[in-house]
Chains A and B, each alone.
Chain A
Amino acid sequence: METSPIDPQSIRSILATDCGSTTTKAILIEKRDDTYRLIVRGEAPTTVEAPFEDVTRGVLNAVREVEELAGRKILEGDHIITPQTGNEGVDLYVSTSSAGGGLQMMVSGLVLQMTGESAQRAALGAGAIVMDVIALNDGRRPHEKIRRLRQLRPDMILLSGGTDGGDVRRVCEMGEILLAADPKARLGAGYQLPVIYAGNKDAASVIRETLGARTALSVVPNLRPTMERENLGPARDAIHELFMEHVMAHAPGYKKLMTWSPVPIMPTPGAVGIIIETIARRDNLAVVGVDIGGATTDVFSVFQEVFNRTVSANLGMSYSVSNVMAEAGLENILRWVPFAVDEVDLRNRVKNKMIRPTTIPQSLEDLVIEQAIAREALRLAFEQHKSLAVGLKGIQSERTISDIMTQSETGGTLVSLLDLGLLVGSGGVLSHAPRRVQAALMMIDAFLPEGLTHLAVDSIFMAPQLGVLSTVHEEAASQVFVRDCLVRLGAVLAPIGTGKPGQPCLTVEVSAPGAISVTMQVPFGELALVPLPEQGTARLIARPERGFDLGAGKGKALETEVTGGVVGLILDARGRRPFALPDDPAARIERLRAWNRALDLYAREV
């Protein structure tokens, strides 16, 4: 990122917005007594769609709410007043954006199972939804491919095919089909569709001739230079770059928004990633962060000092909610719901949320269902992350013939749940959960952490804004992050192993300065909660029974400091490897209700 001419010392007030696919969030930060603090937060629906089709309308609406709540003027008509004069305006405005509903791509290769699949992997790894894979042997005639290209209006196309030195003509044929289709980008006319060519290098010049004038073409090294080798890195990088340059820049109103801020508008996942990396570095921890939005769920991790990010562009709580149901399956969602639900009714609810994405649960039952869907969205996103966060930063993977046969990942996953020190949740369904313990349990159920893992949430979902702010004003971002953004929930202690319900599993002793020490025994199959101080740490001695492991070895005690939080220490003796819910519906509902009672999860029994 470019250095900005901003003088941090002169900044008294900061307005930061994040334009999500569903909601635009604005925060006002002010320097009071030498410390930057969050003053108020406002939000409004994002206005990328008709009738507005201008992202800045939503920004202005969110800022107006900030004005109302803070009782001071920030806008002059449709402009943000900068710098601050008296009690009007702000010294700095920054923004992030994920408006646009994620990145939607089509990819093509010569052979569906070979270069087609490699291209798909490259696009998925870059966080795209792959709308379709077009290949010479996909069974469709050229005009059917052309019709499909036109109909889908992808944001970007990745064209691959052929190993280096291999067939040129057929690669060029794919280029010709693309040219004939002349597909239009979905976000507004008047800009050329970004196309990445990552195929046979010998065909690059012909592809340039064919597509260079009609598309925003980038030529990068072949993603499958030889049959045995995959080189996805350059294609992925190009996808990220073109997404910023073309797709986001053409989201309606985005150009105008860019002129309002002296700092480049950063994509939301990028900004959240900065925050997660900062925490991991500062506390020397393995960290997983998750940001569950309306259209996408982003997972960030730092293990063995390696940062990884994946964007599951089709898992989210509004636009993508129907896809969560399609991918997870109805049974997997319903297993988290402690009451009988009519399938027809649930299906309709989910689809209605998809077509009207800004609604919120009003009844407690509706909240429980929404949180059940969130568990599955988080679980699936984490699974995707684990499979992509592999050795060599997941950028470049060498594939041998045997890998191709088995389609196995080259490097093992870097994600180790036992090593995980801190799990941070962000995004509406976690940040806005009416009780913090609900966010804690959603994350535990979805990620199934092992041993001792600390938990936190982004209080009101401002990690994106603070991420972009930290690039120009580290001090302000860090002060607000610690004081107002990160809410420490406490920790979860989960022994690895399985047993019979009711058999002894875990004994813990928690002592905090100035508090009576607590000793608790938890039988297998149960959840329990030990309060912790909200600030500071407590001493934890945990003794697993024989056959259960907290990380020190089976039956070995764990003695450590545990950082406090608003929820406390959750003792999760429900089993790991595997974690299983009862198959019998009545038994499952009884278990879920018992766990909910143990954690005082909801205001009444559901």
Chain B
Amino acid sequence: MAHAYTPGLRVTDHAVIRRERRLPLKGDVLVALGAEVAADTVVARTELPGNVQTVNVAARLSLDPARVPDALRVPVGTAVRKGEVIAEGKSLFGLVRQHAIAPSDGTIESVSPVTGQLILREPPIPVDIDAYVRGVVAEVLPGEGVVVEAMGALMQGIFGVGGETFGTLRIVSPSPDEELTAEQLTEAHRGCVVVGGAYVSHRTLMHAKELGVAAVVVGGFDDRDLRELLGRDLGVAITGAEDLGLTLVLTEGFGRIRMAERTRRLLDAHEGEQASVSGATQIRAGVMRPEIVIPRASTTAGDRRSAPASLGIEVGSLLRVIREPYFGRIARVVDLPSELQPLETEARVRVMTVEFADDHARAVVPRANVELIED
């Protein structure tokens, strides 16, 4: 085996991006097939049934449950306001009138002669689904939503937290190996997708949140800070539903890791453009990665797909070591011996000799511990 495989993250300037936008319940699709939509265009809307409140009318009015339907002042199906009398009973030979009142605005849905309970349905809750990415409605799912198609840049991160958002892309850290600091962030970054370099701390992230930054894209982040951010240790990597106030996308991993050159170059090239970002990650079979999508202004431009990256590693390949003791270092392959070689652990594995980009020192690393990066 003269080559090695690495998990492929898509980083391309020319992708066709299709995103399904579905309502949680059947509703109305508000855009037509072929319509151009912005990221914040509401594409579908529905009303979710409101919460249910129960009123124990029988107990309230000291009535036999069977008599409760007759005690209603308004028929089933009627809309009522909070505080309105919905049922009335008389006691003490008709001298004392007792009332049951609506605990909230809503519609009387049902009343049970068995339990004497009245069900009041609160007003429906409107739910809007936006387009998330600027593009064209490529498909309409009747009553459910649409598929939005866009062309442009797509960068998958390796891990993220927080849901979908969008904003203007702002490059903040001048170089891909710098930390994004709180001091670099200003009011001007409100609503923006902020790009840092190798690292962001929890403190900076909290500052970004206070400023109203929509998303932060960096190379690495500490797991300790992730625990702080989520309020728990993340066990199984399924994210995207957190309500964090901002979305975080890591392009490289945990710790302080220089953002890959190609990713950073692509982000640099789109400074000032609108980016849609999702932190949703699921690391398991059927993997889902966080993403940064930058649709092109014109959606009619042809899809110039870049040639897929070579998946094999050979002598001369540029790579990054992804495990200690050389974690995060960039190197070039100088030799791929085919025989198994012993490591310090005494395990005999397939290895490669690499030369590091920074100090030109050479080292032997297991083939399993590198990933290909593109020049």
Can you name the residue of chain B whose Cβ is closest to the Cβ of A346?
A: B223
Q: How far is the CB of B340 from chain A (nearest CB, A)?
A: 10
Bound complex: CA A251 to CA B286 (Å)? 9
Q: How far is the CB of B244 from chain A (nearest CB, A)?
A: 15
Q: List 18 A-B contacts (CB under 8 A).
A: A102-B284, A131-B236, A142-B48, A186-B286, A322-B236, A327-B235, A348-B222, A348-B223, A348-B253, A355-B283, A356-B253, A356-B323, A360-B366, A361-B347, A362-B345, A362-B369, A367-B345, A434-B346
Binary CB contact string for chain B from 325 to 346 against chain A (1 if under 8 A, 0 otherwise): 1110000000000000001111
**Residue among B125, B241, B283, B343 with the most chain A CB within 10 A?**
B283
- Chain A interface residue count, Cβ-Cβ cutoff 8 angstroms: 71
Of A42-50, A192-200, A238-246, A494-502, the one with at least 4 CB within 8 A of chain B: A42-50
Bound complex: CA A21 to CA B222 (Å)? 26
The 9 A-B pairs of least Cβ separation, nearest first, read: A323-B235, A347-B223, A326-B235, A434-B346, A186-B286, A326-B233, A101-B284, A348-B254, A146-B24
Across the interface, which residues of A come within 8 angstroms of B362, CB to CB? none
**Docked-complex contact B284 and A352, CB < 8 angstroms:** no
Q: Is A571 among interface residues, defined by CB-CB distance under 8 A?
A: no
Binary CB contact string for chain B from 258 to 286 against chain A (1 if under 8 A, 0 otherwise): 00000000000000000000001011111
Q: Which of B25, B237, B311, B322 contacts A354 (CB 8 A)?
A: B237
Q: How far is the CB of B143 from chain A (nearest CB, A)?
A: 11
Q: Is the interface of B mostly helix, strand, loop or mixed?
A: loop
Within 8 A of A (CB), among B163-210: none
**Docked-complex contact A141 and B282, CB < 8 angstroms:** no
Q: How far is the CB of A324 from chain B (nearest CB, A)?
A: 8
**Docked-complex contact A348 and B255, CB < 8 angstroms:** yes
Can you name the residue of chain B whose Cβ is closest to the Cβ of A356?
A: B322
**Residue among A314, A319, A326, A352 with the most chain B CB within 10 A?**
A352
Given that A148-B241, A352-B327 are contacting pairs, would A49 and B7 also be in contact in the complex, using a CB cutoff of 8 Å? yes
**Docked-complex contact A352 and B322, CB < 8 angstroms:** yes
Within 8 A of B (CB), among A83-102: 99-102
Interface size bucket, B side?
35 or more
Given that A68-B1, A180-B26 are contacting pairs, would A101 and B285 also be in contact in the complex, using a CB cutoff of 8 Å? yes
Of A150-158, A225-233, A539-547, the one with at least 4 CB within 8 A of chain B: A150-158
Q: How far is the CB of A242 from chain B (nearest CB, A)?
A: 17
Can you name the residue of chain B whose Cβ is closest to the Cβ of A313?
A: B236
Known contacts A147-B241, A359-B366, A432-B347; 20 additional CB pairs below 8 A are A21-B285, A49-B285, A50-B287, A101-B285, A143-B24, A143-B25, A180-B25, A188-B286, A251-B285, A314-B236, A320-B236, A325-B235, A326-B234, A349-B324, A354-B283, A355-B158, A355-B254, A360-B349, A361-B347, A364-B345
Across the interface, which residues of A come within 8 angstroms of B283, CB to CB? 319, 354-355
Q: Is A51 among interface residues, defined by CB-CB distance under 8 A?
A: yes
Q: Is A129 among interface residues, defined by CB-CB distance under 8 A?
A: yes
Within 8 A of B (CB), among A297-338: 314, 319-320, 322-323, 325-327
Q: How far is the CB of B255 from chain A (nearest CB, A)?
A: 4
Q: Is A295 among interface residues, defined by CB-CB distance under 8 A?
A: yes
Across the interface, which residues of A come within 8 angstroms of B347, CB to CB? 360-361, 367, 432, 434
Given that A21-B285, A44-B1, A325-B233 are contacting pairs, would A362 and B325 also be in contact in the complex, using a CB cutoff of 8 Å? yes
**Docked-complex contact B235 and A99, CB < 8 angstroms:** no
Q: How far is the CB of B283 from chain A (nearest CB, A)?
A: 6
Q: Is B238 among interface residues, defined by CB-CB distance under 8 A?
A: yes
**Docked-complex contact B235 and A361, CB < 8 angstroms:** no
Q: Is B316 among interface residues, defined by CB-CB distance under 8 A?
A: no
**Docked-complex contact A435 and B323, CB < 8 angstroms:** no
Across the interface, which residues of B come within 8 angstroms of A603, CB to CB? 344-346
Across the interface, which residues of B come within 8 angstroms of A143, CB to CB? 24-25, 48, 125, 127
**Docked-complex contact B344 and A322, CB < 8 angstroms:** no
Q: Is A358 among interface residues, defined by CB-CB distance under 8 A?
A: yes
Q: How far is the CB of B262 from chain A (nearest CB, A)?
A: 16
Bound complex: CA A295 to CA B8 (Å)? 20
Given that A50-B8, A61-B1, A143-B127 are contacting pairs, would A187 and B344 also be in contact in the complex, using a CB cutoff of 8 Å? no
Across the interface, which residues of A come within 8 angstroms of B234, CB to CB? 322, 326, 351
Bound complex: CA A358 to CA B338 (Å)? 19
Q: How far is the CB of B144 from chain A (nearest CB, A)?
A: 8
**Docked-complex contact A363 and B325, CB < 8 angstroms:** yes
Bound complex: CA A141 to CA B49 (Å)? 9
